[in-house]
Structure 1
Amino acid sequence: MNELLEKLAECVEFGKINNASPYPPTMKGQDGADEYAKQAIDEGIEPGEILKHGLMVGMEKVGIKFRENKVFVPQVLMSAKAMSAAMDHLKPYFSSGAAERKGVFVVGTVEGDLHDIGKNLVAMMVEGNGYEVIDLGTDVKAEQFIETAEKHPGSVIGLSSLLTTTMANMQKIVEIVKKHNPDRQICIGGAPITQDFSEKIGADSYKPDPQGVVEFLNSLAS
């Protein structure tokens, strides 16, 4: 792999945003994801290659570490910030159609629930793995999911819930979405959610961690 992309992947993995960032201490004073992404663009590396062989490599490593409890939320957030700094250089190419994404993921926290850390982690991990993410935020009704998904044929909906009291709303949203379009793929997650609950309400996938959501989306895209 290109040495620049290796350095970019390392910056994402360890959360090195830019040269000015003091985190992580072992990389203080070194260039970060921001500088390496710009340099890769300037050297003529295709944005899709930068995403695939730089950002996605780093985010996958972070996702696996998070799943295995080797890193925790603060480290993942730093990796996401590093990824975001790099993505700022790539997004113009994706929005112009000059580079392609793997698919579209419409995500939100269900109606009645205002928690968003888990949802944000999933959104950042999915974006870092090559998907366009449309984040509808918190307290999202079924109609908002349907309306947004309809604008993006083939898109997958992700529902998040942290409160046991909003699990009923998650079930309602799944039922409404499936009634509107039985083929729409729905992935659910959150602290109180289980595989049994997912099967009971007719969701297509339940994943306990962000990397699992990425793997589900990749299985659909392949």
Structure 2
Amino acid sequence: MDYYKAINKAIMEGETRDVVDLTREALAQLYPPEKILNDGLIQGIELVAEKFREAELLVPEVILSTRAVQAGLKTIKPYLEADVKNKQVRVMIGTVSGDLHDIGKNIIKIVVSTLGVEIIDLGIDVSAEKFVQGVLKEKPQILMMSALLTTTINQMKAVIQRLEKENLRKNLIVFVGGAPVTEAFAADIGADYYTPDSSELKEVLEKILKKLKTA
């Protein structure tokens, strides 16, 4: 059996019990936990995100898939080697003002949680003021903003401008993402990173965490 593809399929179908059982079976068969995580769980939720972007999945289906992968992560977590130093890194995430969608944000949260960092989730419809106050209070090293609507992506620029005005931008790494966001848009508004999918996001974050630990 190809456990990775089986886990992908179970996540796509939102079958929480199957995801947990397959993850346990793969671990019992001595499949590498990191491979189960990347090729099974993360790849599965990335396929869900892709189908959602293409309007092939509905919101309730994505919610079921998200719950399924979260259960899988809980199952595999004890088998992963957590980097203690990563716990010193704070990542703040939120969906920008005017946007009530949390699917993209929650998928990001799942990926980020696998790296052992501390996550501060501001939720949805987060104003520029709330982002600024959050950065002031929590002092994260990384800020991630998500948007699903073309009508709300300019709020990302507003947040970055407010951060600059409050002298909070210099030491803050800013990610932006979501269906209407592009690399060109991210560069234009002054964001540091844009990644088109969760697999690339994880790779970029791993490199950043290594740099932060040696800084």
For normalisation by structure 2, the TM-score amounts to 0.66
Task: Find out whether 1:113 has 2:99 as its counterpart.
Answer: yes
1:185 aligns with 2:173: yes
Q: Which moved more, 1:72-81 or 1:55-64?
A: 72-81
Amino acid at match of 1:108: G
Equivalent residue runs for 1:76-87 within 5 Å: 80-87=66-73
Aligned to 1:174: 160
Aligned position for 1:220: 208
Rounded Cα–Cα distance in structure 1 between residues aligned with 2:85 and 2:64:
23
Paired position in structure 2 for 1:195: 183
Q: Which segment is superposed worse, 54-63 or 172-181?
A: 54-63
Aligned CA distance change for structure 1 residues 89 and 191 (closer, same or farther; 3 Å): closer
Deviation per CA, 1:62-96, whole angstroms, max 9, x where unpaired?
A: 36656887x9757876554333224446789xxxx
Q: Which residue of 1 aligns with 2:20?
A: 33
C-alpha spacing 1:36/1:188, structure 2 compared with 1 (3 Å): closer
- What is the DSSP-based 3-state SS (H/G/I as helix, E as strand, rest coil) of the residue aligned with 1:166? coil
| Secondary structure at the counterpart of residue 152 of structure 2 | helix
**1:56-71 alignment runs, 5 A limit:** 56-62=38-44, 65=47
Residue 109 of structure 1 contacts residue 138 of structure 1 at CA under 8 Å; is this kept in 2?
yes
Query: How far did residue 158 of structure 1 move?
Result: 0.8
1:100 matched to which residue of 2?
84
Specify the SS of the correspondent of 1:119: helix
Report the equivalent of 1:27: none
Partner of 1:205: 193
Kindly tell me the number of residue pairs found equivalent between the two proteins.
199
The structure-2 alpha-carbon separation of the partners of 1:83 and 1:89, relative to structure 1 and needing over 3 Å to count, comes to: same
Report SS of the residue matched to 2:105: helix
Q: Is the 8 A contact 1:13 1:61 kept in 2?
A: yes
Partner SS for 2:84? coil
CA gap of 1:167–1:67, structure 2 versus 1, over 3 A, is closer
> CA offsets per residue over residues 144-168 of structure 1, 9 Å max, x none?
3344445655531111122222222
**Structure 1 length-normalised TM:** 0.64
Q: Distance in 1 between matches of 2:92 and 2:62?
A: 21
Name the CA shift for 1:22/1:127 in 2 (closer, same or farther; >3 Å).
closer
- Give the partner amino acid of 2:37: L
Identity %: 31
Cα distance in structure 2, aligned partners of 1:22 and 1:118: 17
Give the SS at the match of 2:180.
coil
